[in-house]
Chain A
């Protein structure tokens, strides 16, 4: 692996780590989901989730910080499933995070435009 490849891989890894919480909260923005379903939906976003297991510790932490809450629901196609949904606090935090992301995205877009890229 060349030096520039290493730099790019490190950069995307850091970016992914930072964005995963935002992505999980946004996934839950539409309504309650169980863990496997969250992982599948995030998996549809190219390169966002390399190791699917990383989602579960984040879900646990978000629940500990009361941004999401969980409940068990019976399933017709197997054992009971653990669902996650946003709390009021989580919804408010998600709104702030999305605003920040939009602002950041806009600023980077502006910088790219100025740089001719």
Chain B
């Protein structure tokens, strides 16, 4: 038996612990047998060394043995370890794509306890993946399906917020102003509904016309930010929003003034 200093013993115990963890779950390998062989290996390798053996001397032997995490061939590793290793040690493009998917799934599972906060890091990982592929000049490949969900979530939230929230607020203010200051006198529920819907449509239409101008000006960064979902966007799409704004505002005006 070799004699180790307390530091060396601690280091050896840690190494064996890492080894047991890395071999856990393997169907065809017995961790006890491997551990026994490794202990024997270290004892034989250090048999002639003066006692007690320190961490540096032990470290040389452990370095030659290599990190236990790399000992198992792929087909011997359980599926969850393969997946985890792929995310932790794989190439950046794999890590980013799987990391983004993992965060998105975690976000969905933990939604009731504030999981929505994970949307931002998931979105950033997806963006980083897209940027990396663009930098390399490579297509996104099948992994695009892993990175799309957070991009779509953020895009939908942003669009819904930008299109509807200001319009709703302006519409509410406008209908209030209409009743109070412009002399509308609607006493029935139907008339109040007409006033509110008309005001909302006018406000939404006007806001969309303004928004389409902003959208046209910021088209390039918007397209880049939400690629590949928005890659096909052109300035013409801003015009569609302008036309929609004009139509909706006109319908609102009809509702307000044509009866």
By a beta-carbon cutoff of 8 Å, the part of chain A in contact with chain B is 17, 34-36, 39, 50-54, 56-61, 63-65, 70, 77-79, 81-82
Contacts and interface: CB of A to CB of B under 8 A. Distances in A.
Given A53-B38, A57-B23, 18 more contacts: A17-B73, A36-B40, A36-B45, A51-B64, A51-B65, A51-B71, A54-B71, A56-B41, A56-B71, A57-B34, A59-B33, A63-B33, A64-B28, A64-B30, A65-B28, A79-B40, A81-B40, A82-B36
Contacts of B230: none
B70 to A, nearest CB: 6
Q: What 6 A-B pairs come out closest when comparing CB atoms?
A: A51-B66, A53-B65, A36-B44, A35-B37, A56-B37, A60-B29
Interface SS of B by simple majority: helix
A54 B33 CA distance: 13
Interface of B: 1, 19, 23, 26, 28-30, 33-34, 36-38, 40-41, 43-45, 47, 64-68, 70-73, 76
Count chain A CB atoms within 10 A of each CB in B43, B45, B71 and give the residue with the most: B71
A79 B44 CA distance: 9
Nearest to B45: A36
A50 B45 CA distance: 17
Contacts of B70: 51, 54
B72 A57 contact: yes
B63 to A, nearest CB: 9
Contacts, number: 75
A33 to B, nearest CB: 12
Contact of B41 (A36, A50, A51, A70): A36
Contact of A34 (B34, B40, B45): B40
8 contacts: A51-B65, A56-B37, A57-B26, A57-B73, A60-B34, A61-B29, A64-B30, A79-B1
Contacts of A51: 64-67, 70-71
A35 B76 contact: no
A82 B66 contact: no
A44 to B, nearest CB: 14
Nearest to B91: A6
Contacts of B47: 77-78
Contacts of A50: 66
Contacts of B26: 57
B38 A79 contact: no
B41 A57 contact: no
B32 to A, nearest CB: 9
A76 to B, nearest CB: 12
A76 B44 CA distance: 12
Nearest to B26: A57
